[in-house]
């Protein structure tokens, strides 16, 4: 019988790579001690001879001294900061190596290219197995290294699928060890791959295990069969030479961020390397192709079929590039960066105008683009006012410009002046479904400078004013929620779908986590009058009007809003909400380390809720922006009164609060908002959203997505409903499903409770045994400390005595802990808290030592789920 081994998996990968055009050489054949050596020393990781030949082939117009100078530039790329060296190399790889030469007495600069991005066949692709590197007397041998023109761009670590100990987690740890011990190899790294032959994931040099992702399709059109190994799909889809070089050039960013320590004033700069996931890669390429079609370039496109209208049905030159619908939390902002970086090159330096409909969204998206300026090859600009916007658009070409759509409102009349008739302008709209992007006219109150109504006037959707200003521009929309069937504006402005990545796919891929829903209406009862008003207000107002008495609402709507705000914000109800939030949040924090957000109906309610909460927990309060466990995020003026005015924050202050909220180690754990941070704000460690505000449609879908971000082993996010939004969630699901989306936006918390009880039963049965060989763990709950310690050791022995006991037990208790973390503080979860604590204590004992007898297991490395502590053992 042929046994499946790591060597066999290695051979399989090599065969697949050879079929893609990779040459194969065993590491020993090119080692320094071989007759055909291609390395002078064991620490040499570049195949210098191959690189030199490639430079000559790719750059025939450059002289030999210029090519040698470029080679030396690549060879001396080493610094104590591995990621900094890697970024420096990436610049040389994607932008060329700058060299100089004398011409007629003048020194001239030229570029030497390391890779031919225009002619893939002009490059050399090589796979080497067992590539030994010795650095500082440490000998390591990665399984597979993929070289392009002699440069080690991909490292693949393989494990045996038939070995229960050899997992992709251990492959990840192996790569981490390599980065510490043979770091020079990773100076030139573009991509890391880990696999056990069946499961396979890829990530960047700086990515944690949770950010390594599978590549689910070999052709970008259909998802691979579950009967095909992920390794084969990843090789066929991601490592084909064309895709690999495209990923390196257009889909890799080094995202920099500045963080100020508010206590010391010191500013630190951190960098994270990010590579597009498969859904981002194919969607962006489809969007670029559709942009070329819309701009009258001869490019065909066939996006994934979802049974909904697609851009492939649209004519060339229609200026409608389409809509990319990628569910919230799946990297939409970064997809917009990748798109802009690529379209800037393929359209020969167009002007890209990025539009949002809110100032805070404009700031957040601008920050993302600014952090990735190397890919854009230019500094993005943010228009502060209409006049600056006009100046930025009155250029011949180039520029990445950010603005809010409101700046296209004409100061007088209903025609916006033409700013440019150029056709090389691309307008990219974030959340393209919103009503203000339409063309339709409506009548609103006309007011004087004092705010008094003096008559009526007709205004149009901003799409009309955009077309007035930029009549020949091409329009592309990005959205995290689908286009409703009744929405005629979005297709009219942007066209049909380019690509869809729905909730079901995002959760399955690990791009987002599930969202669970818990109703706590019974805890903070709303009167019958209040429930009626909520329903009437929902029916009366558009989703974007559910805010503090919008100026364009009818008098009756304003009156209903005022009545409802008074009922929701009554002193007794605010007190009830405060008590419930504190007890609920503290219970969750005991088992699930993270943060939470409260959404209030008005700024007044937000401010009073803050006072009610800090009266219960005074130590949570601080007047210092850099301190305190709770903050209100809003703007206010002195005319709002002292209670609200003290919570006013400037743009810079909100950025500092955002940094605190995103930092898992910061003491800020709870924020109260009204409208801010409900879209575009990413704090992956946030696990709970408390909603006490009427919300519906897209706004509701975007708000609940604040808790769907991936963070360590976070099992899911929880939306807590204090106002009765269940019907609005169902309505949101209805239009989501009608649009072709798969997967529920939220799951009832009861489903997590049911799973918890199921896993509890599974774990309990592992102690039940047969024929009297069970373990009576119930004795633990009445035992003293000494007996408890003995029982944990005895329980460990019992589990180790079962067939495959340790692995099964750790897996099942991990699943139990995740379901328990979502279920808390449900009554049934609290009833079994002691049992969960015992099972976790036994798991902790089993997991403290790996198979070699020392160190923590992979399962324990990245966790956000806290073990339920038995106080008797503290």
Query: What's the whole-number mean pLDDT along residues 782-789?
Result: 86
Instruction: Give the pLDDT confidence of 348-392 residue by residue, as tens digits.
Output: 789 999 998 877 778 888 989 998 988 998 999 999 888 999 899
pLDDT of residue 562: 80
pLDDT of residue 495: 85
Please classify residue 182 by burial: count the beta carbons closer than 10 Å to its beta carbon, then call 0-12 exposed, 13-18 middle and 19+ buried.
buried
Distance CA 614, CA 646 (A): 15
Domain termination residue (choose one: 449, 470, 501): 501
pLDDT of residue 641: 87
Same-domain check for residues 660 and 724? yes
Same-domain check for residues 80 and 229? yes
What's 674's domain CATH number? 3.40.50.300
Same-domain check for residues 630 and 682? yes
Same-domain check for residues 639 and 699? yes
Structure tokens at 149: 């023109």
Query: What's the whole-number mean pLDDT along residues 455-471?
Result: 81
The percentage of residues in the chain with a pLDDT greater than 70, rounded to a whole number, is: 85
Q: What element of type H or E holds 179?
A: helix 168-181
Instruction: Give the pLDDT confidence of 48-62 residue by residue, as tens digits.
Output: 999 999 999 999 999
pLDDT of residue 787: 87
Distance CA 72, CA 89 (A): 12
Residue 776 CA: distances (Å) to CA of 764, 780, 794, 832: 10, 8, 10, 16
Distance CA 38, CA 31 (A): 7
Distance CA 170, CA 159 (A): 8
User: Does any domain span residue 848?
Assistant: yes
User: Does any domain span residue 271?
Assistant: no
User: Does any domain span residue 603?
Assistant: yes
Same-domain check for residues 531 and 496? no
Question: Which residues are within 8 A (CB) of 315 and not within 5 positions of it... i.e. 6 or more apart?
Answer: none
Same-domain check for residues 646 and 522? yes
Instruction: Give the pLDDT confidence of 607-616 residue by residue, as tens digits.
Output: 999 999 999 9
Q: Which of 121-135, 548-562, 839-853 has the lowest mean pLDDT?
A: 548-562
Q: What are phi and psi of 94, to 5 degrees?
A: -100, -20
Q: Which of 82-91, 161-170, 472-481, 628-637 has the lowest mean pLDDT?
A: 161-170
User: Does any domain span residue 259?
Assistant: no
Q: Which of 597-601, 619-623, 756-760 has the lowest mean pLDDT?
A: 756-760
Instruction: Give the pLDDT confidence of 228-244 residue by residue, as tens digits.
Output: 899 999 999 999 999 99
Indicate whether 544 pLDDT > 80: no
Total count of domains within the chain: 4
pLDDT of residue 539: 58
Cβ 839 vs Cβ 733: under 8 Å: no
Same-domain check for residues 703 and 729? yes
Q: What are phi and psi of 510, to 5 degrees?
A: 80, 15
Mean residue pLDDT of the chain comes to: 85
User: Does any domain span residue 796?
Assistant: yes
Same-domain check for residues 493 and 525? no
Same-domain check for residues 402 and 469? yes
The percentage of residues in the chain with a pLDDT greater than 90, rounded to a whole number, is: 44
Indicate whether 5 pLDDT > 90: no
* pTM for this predicted structure: 0.82
Residue 93 CA: distances (Å) to CA of 88, 112, 137, 334, 370: 9, 10, 30, 21, 21
CA torsion 531-484-433-492 (nearest 10°) is: -140
Cβ 135 vs Cβ 43: under 8 Å: yes
Indicate whether 306 pLDDT > 70: no
User: Does any domain span residue 269?
Assistant: no
pLDDT of residue 235: 96
Same-domain check for residues 724 and 770? no
Instruction: Give the pLDDT confidence of 675-707 residue by residue, as tens digits.
Output: 999 887 889 999 999 999 988 777 888 888 899
Q: Which structural domain range is residue 774 located in?
A: 752-873
Cβ 315 vs Cβ 294: under 8 Å: no
Distance CA 551, CA 108 (A): 62
pLDDT of residue 253: 95
pLDDT of residue 25: 97
Residue with tokens 């056990």: 196
Same-domain check for residues 695 and 775? no
pLDDT of residue 530: 67
User: Residue 547 — pLDDT band, cuts 50, 70, 90?
Assistant: very low
Same-domain check for residues 184 and 39? yes
């Amino acid at each position: 019988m042929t046994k499946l081994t790591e060597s066999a998996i290695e051979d399989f990968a090599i065969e697949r790579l050879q079929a893609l055009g990779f040459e194969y050489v065993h590491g020993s054949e090119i080692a320094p001690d071989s007759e055909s050596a291609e390395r002078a020393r064991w620490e040499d990781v570049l195949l210098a001879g191959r690189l030199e030949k490639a430079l000559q082939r790719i750059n025939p117009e450059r002289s030999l001294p210029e090519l040698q100078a470029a080679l030396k530039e690549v060879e001396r790329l080493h610094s104590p900061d591995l990621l900094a060296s890697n970024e420096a190399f990436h610049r040389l790889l994607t932008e060329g190596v700058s060299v100089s030469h004398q011409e007629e007495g003048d020194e001239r600069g030229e570029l030497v290219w390391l890779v031919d991005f225009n002619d893939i066949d002009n490059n050399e692709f090589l796979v080497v197995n067992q590539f030994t590197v010795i650095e500082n007397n440490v000998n390591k041998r990665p399984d597979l290294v993929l070289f392009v023109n002699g440069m080690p761009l991909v490292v693949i670590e393989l494990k045996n699928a038939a070995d229960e100990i050899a997992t992709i987690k251990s492959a990840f740890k192996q790569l981490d060890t390599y980065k510490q011990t043979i770091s020079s190899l990773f100076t030139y790294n573009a991509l890391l791959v880990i696999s056990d032959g069946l499961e396979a994931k890829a990530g960047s040099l700086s990515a944690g295990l949770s950010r390594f992702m599978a590549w689910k399709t070999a052709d970008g059109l259909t998802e691979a069969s579950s009967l095909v190994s992920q390794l084969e799909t990843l090789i066929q889809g991601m490592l084909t030479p064309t895709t690999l070089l495209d990923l390196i050039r257009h889909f890799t960013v080094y995202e920099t961020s500045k963080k100020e320590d508010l206590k010391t004033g010191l500013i630190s700069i951190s960098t994270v390397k990010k590579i597009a996931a498969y859904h981002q890669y194919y969607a962006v390429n489809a969007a670029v192709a559709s942009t070329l079609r819309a701009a009258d370039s001869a490019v065909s496109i066939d996006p994934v079929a979802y049974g909904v209208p697609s851009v492939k049905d649209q004519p060339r030159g229609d200026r409608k590039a389409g809509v990319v619908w990628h569910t919230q939390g799946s990297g939409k902002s970064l997809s917009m960066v990748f798109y802009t970086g690529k379209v800037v090159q393929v359209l020969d330096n167009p002007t890209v105008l990025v539009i949002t409909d809110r100032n805070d969204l404009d700031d957040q998206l601008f920050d993302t683009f600014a952090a990735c300026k190397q890919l854009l090859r230019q500094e993005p600009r943010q228009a502060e006012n209409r006049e600056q916007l006009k100046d930025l658009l009155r250029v011949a070409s180039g520029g990445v410009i950010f603005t809010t759509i409101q700046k296209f409102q004409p100061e007088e009349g209903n025609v916006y002046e033409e700013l440019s008739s150029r056709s090389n302008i691309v307008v990219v709209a974030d959340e393209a479904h919103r009503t203000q992007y339409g063309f339709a006219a409506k009548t609103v109150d006309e007011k004087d400078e004092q705010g008094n109504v003096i008559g009526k006037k007709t205004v149009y959707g901003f799409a009309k004013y955009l077309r007035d200003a930029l009549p020949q521009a091409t329009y592309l929309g990005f959205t995290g929620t689908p286009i409703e069937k009744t929405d005629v504006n979005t297709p009219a402005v942007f066209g049909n779908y380019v690509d869809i990545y729905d909730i079901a796919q995002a959760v399955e891929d690990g791009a987002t986590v599930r969202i669970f829903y818990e109703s706590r209406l019974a805890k903070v009862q709303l009167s019958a009058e209040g429930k009626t008003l909520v329903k009437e207000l929902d029916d009366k107002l558009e989703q974007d009007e559910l805010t503090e008495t919008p100026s364009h609402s009818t008098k009756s709507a304003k009156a209903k809003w005022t009545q409802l705000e008074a009922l929701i914000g009554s002193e007794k109800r605010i007190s009830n909400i405060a008590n419930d939030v504190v007890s609920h949040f503290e219970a969750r924090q005991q088992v699930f380390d993270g943060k939470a957000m409260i959404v209030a109906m008005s700024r007044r309610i937000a401010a009073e809720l803050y006072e009610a909460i800090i009266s219960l927990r005074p130590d949570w309060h601080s007047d210092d922006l850099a301190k305190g466990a709770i903050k209100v995020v809003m703007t206010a003026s002195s005319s709002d009164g002292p209670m609200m005015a003290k919570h006013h924050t400037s743009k810079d202050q909100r950025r500092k609060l955002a940094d605190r909220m995103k930092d898992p180690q910061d003491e800020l754990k709870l924020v109260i908002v009204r409208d801010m941070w409900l879209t575009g704000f990413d704090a992956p460690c946030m696990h709970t959203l408390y909603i006490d505000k009427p919300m519906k449609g897209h706004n509701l879908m975007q708000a609940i997505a604040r808790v769907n971000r991936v963070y360590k082993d976070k099992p899911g996010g929880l939306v807590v409903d204090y106002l009765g939004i269940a019907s609005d969630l169902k309505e949101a699901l209805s239009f989501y499903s009608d649009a072709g989306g798969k997967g529920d936006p939220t799951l009832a918390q009861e489903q997590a409770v049911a799973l918890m009880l199921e896993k509890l039963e599974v774990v309990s049965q592992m102690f039940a045994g047969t024929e009297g060989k069970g373990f009576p763990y119930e004795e633990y709950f009445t035992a003293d400390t000494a007996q408890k310690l003995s029982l944990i050791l005895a329980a460990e022995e019992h589990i180790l005595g079962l067939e495959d006991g340790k692995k099964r037990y750790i897996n099942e208790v991990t699943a139990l802990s995740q379901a328990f973390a979502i279920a808390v503080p449900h009554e049934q979860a609290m009833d079994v808290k002691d049992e969960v604590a015992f099972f976790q204590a036994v798991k902790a004992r089993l997991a403290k030592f790996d198979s070699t007898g020392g160190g923590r297991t992979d399962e324990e490395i990245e966790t956000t789920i806290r073990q339920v502590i038995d106080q008797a053992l503290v």
